Amino acid sequence: MHTVKRLVLLIAALQWPVHAAELETIVVYASRLGATTQQPTILTEAEIDARHAHHAADILRAAPGIALSQAGNRGGLTQARVRGAEANHVLVMLDGIEMNNVALGGEYNFGYLDLTGAKRVEIMNGPQSAIWGSDALAGLMYIDTTPAENGVTIDAAAGSMATRDASLTASRSSAEGHAVFTASHFATDGNNLAKIGDEKDGHRATTLHANLSRDLGSWTVGAVFRGVDAEVEYDPTPFPAYIPADGDNLTVSDRRYAKFEASHSGTAFWEPRLTVSGARSGDENIESTRRTETFGEKTAIAFSNNFAFSDAHRVNATAEIERQRFTQRAEATPFGDPNQEQDTRTASIAAEYQYRTGNALASLSARYDANDEFDNSTAYHAGLAWAVGPGRLFANVGTGTKNPTFTERFGYSPDTFIGNPDVKPERSVEYEAGYATGRFSFTCFDNRLTDEINGFVFDPARGGFTADNREDKSRRRGVEIGYSDTFGLLNVAAHYTYVDSAEDDSIEIRRPRHQGRVDLTGRIASSTRFNLGVAAVGQQYDNDFSAFPAIRRTLDAYLLVHGGLDFRISARARIYLQVENALDTNYEEVFGYRTPGARAMAGYTVRL
């Protein structure tokens, strides 16, 4: 595959007999108008519950286009790279709240993500900045907890590594609105993330979540709240090896997310929506001789308007104001003073247009971000999908943006790592085309990243490291293939991803070229369900910082096998056994970090 550009142009030039079939409209959250010309990956509540794995890393590992890197045990920094992009290039949203951590370079730590209560997880690979702005340069992950039925679910499990996992979900749904409350607690002694020694690194997390909505005549008001309190033990990475060595370091974290929303549906032509949302992330890193606190906050007000000029023509116009704040506190040392407080503001306008017929969907969208501290940015997207045979043929082109992080602009310790206030936003352009039916999907893509920010540039004039934009381009291209079907009592889902992500003609780190996954679920008997799957991740690379410049190390390919049984013991109760990494595979996703071995959980679920 040389380039997707030629393929897109070829497809657009063909005169397909679209009158022969109806186009399946895929309902998504990625568009404010609710439909897409792209091919999303959608994980349902049933798929998540079938595996009894509410930890996001277990569900997302080797998902289409996603490369996961977990530093040690659950709770350790877990990054997701979409289509070969950076970890802070994917936007994560929960019920309409942007969850990316301002104090973590704008990325999201999936080690803290508990999917208890999730009804649907939507993954949209490819630039989404034309609608959602910065952080969505490479993709969007949207988690929806809106309930569709009434009930109470209690789940309790225990297993290896002294692991305890318990949750309660209570939901109610009616024509007048919905309400769902979720509480979950997870604790484990873990294993040693350092390769030498026997000191265990544990993790504890408590998550509370509420999603409320109520219709008041032509108005609908809603609110979402989520709080996460967590602790994760980790080992220091001392000089000169800079890899984990046994120690008693601890990170104490709190996460608070909230959203208030009001929408009006009094006319068929105009539906306005006002949303106020906020995300706060606080981390205290406790080391033997030092404590560091970081605090990130993002607040946003968005006024979104959907216009239906007819069944075929729909338009969205959105105005948004966003403020980000970053605070860092630690004791000053002879090497520098890390204490700082920074903030930025962005005012944005965005527009989206969709043309829908029975056999075609066309979309155009654009966004302009006016940043008060660095360059303004513009993003656009254009897409077309139309019915061909049993499926849909689609082609898309879009751009993405990622604003500089606070560390890149102001430094980590302003006297040692030197910030660059003139660094520009990163920009990308991606072409994609593919074909999808109800069982099969094929997508190819080609992405070019410009103004990529290098956060490890030595400035001899000032005698320290800083950040700057690269002059060359990074290229990411690849293929995503998916298949799913049902054969009697057996459900089969499989996918494969190829990604070639290169920078300066060198393969980028933590991005396997090949990865795939096969999952089987079904019934052995009327009262017994099973799940069995394997994730295959190919060879990848990481940096070893024991030398300067860093040495490139090879991380071997690996297979992870999971499986479980689920028995119904009454009309409302089930017991289950679930095993992760059943072959006890020894593998690395981050150089120098030991990953969890085989682990088993036995649990009990009651639905009232």
DSSP helix/strand/coil, 532: strand
Give φ, ψ of 71 to 5 degrees.
-85, 85
Task: List, for residues 278-306, the tens digit of each pLDDT value.
Answer: 999 999 999 988 899 999 999 999 999 99
Does residue 348 register a pLDDT over 50?
Answer: yes
Q: Which position has the token pair 């057996």?
A: 490
Task: List, for residues 498-539, the tens digit of each pLDDT value.
Answer: 999 998 778 899 999 999 999 999 999 999 999 999 999 999
Q: Are 585 and 560 in contact (CB under 8 A)?
A: yes
Residue 61 CA to residue 78 CA, distance in Å, equals 11
16-20, 161-165, 339-343, 383-387 — which is least confidently predicted? 16-20
List b or e across 334-343, with b for residues whose CB sees 16 or more CB atoms inside 10 angstroms. eebebebebe
Task: List, for residues 69-115, the tens digit of each pLDDT value.
Answer: 999 888 899 999 999 999 999 999 999 999 999 999 999 999 989 99
Q: Which position has the token pair 């102001």?
A: 410
Q: Are 400 and 86 in contact (CB under 8 A)?
A: no
Task: List, for residues 391-415, the tens digit of each pLDDT value.
Answer: 999 999 999 999 999 989 888 765 5
Secondary element (H or E) of residue 330:
strand 313-330
Residue 164 CA to residue 316 CA, distance in Å, equals 46
Residue 376 CA to residue 120 CA, distance in Å, equals 34
Provide the pLDDT for residue 434.
Answer: 97
Considering the chain, what percentage of its residues have pLDDT values greater than 90? 77
Provide the pLDDT for residue 440.
Answer: 96
Residue 19's nearest CA partner among 377, 293, 386 is 386
- The mean pLDDT value for 584-594 works out to 94
Does residue 355 register a pLDDT over 90?
Answer: yes
Residue 320 CA to residue 130 CA, distance in Å, equals 13
Amino acid occupying residue 550:
A
- The mean pLDDT value for 377-396 works out to 96
Task: List, for residues 166-206, the tens digit of each pLDDT value.
Answer: 999 999 999 999 999 999 999 999 999 999 888 999 999 99
Give φ, ψ of 89 to 5 degrees.
-105, 5
Does residue 5 register a pLDDT over 70?
Answer: no
Here the tokens at position 372 are 């008060």
Does residue 588 register a pLDDT over 60?
Answer: yes
> β-strands 377-388, 78-82: how paired?
unpaired
Q: Is the pTM of this model over 0.85?
A: yes
Q: Which position has the token pair 């999303």?
A: 40
Provide the pLDDT for residue 16.
Answer: 40
Q: Could you write out the DSSP letters of every residue in 79-110?
A: EEEETT--GGGEEEEETTEE--BGGGTTB--G
Domain ranges of the chain: 4-148+181-527
Does residue 28 register a pLDDT over 80?
Answer: yes
Provide the pLDDT for residue 416.
Answer: 64
Task: List, for residues 366-377, the tens digit of each pLDDT value.
Answer: 999 999 988 899
Cis peptide preceding 549, ω within 30 of 0: yes
List b or e across 576-599, with b for residues whose CB sees 16 or more CB atoms inside 10 angstroms. bbbbbbbeeeebbbbbbbbbbeeb
Residue 64 CA to residue 387 CA, distance in Å, equals 23
Residue 263 CA to residue 405 CA, distance in Å, equals 33
Write down the architecture of domain 4-148+181-527 according to CATH. Answer: Beta Barrel (2.40)
The distance of Cα 184 from the centroid of its chain, to the nearest Å, equals: 20
Here the tokens at position 571 are 């009309």
Residue 558's nearest CA partner among 70, 42, 22 is 70
Give φ, ψ of 406 to 5 degrees.
-65, -40
Provide the pLDDT for residue 21.
Answer: 66
- The mean pLDDT value for 484-505 works out to 93
In Å, the largest CA–CA distance within the chain is 74
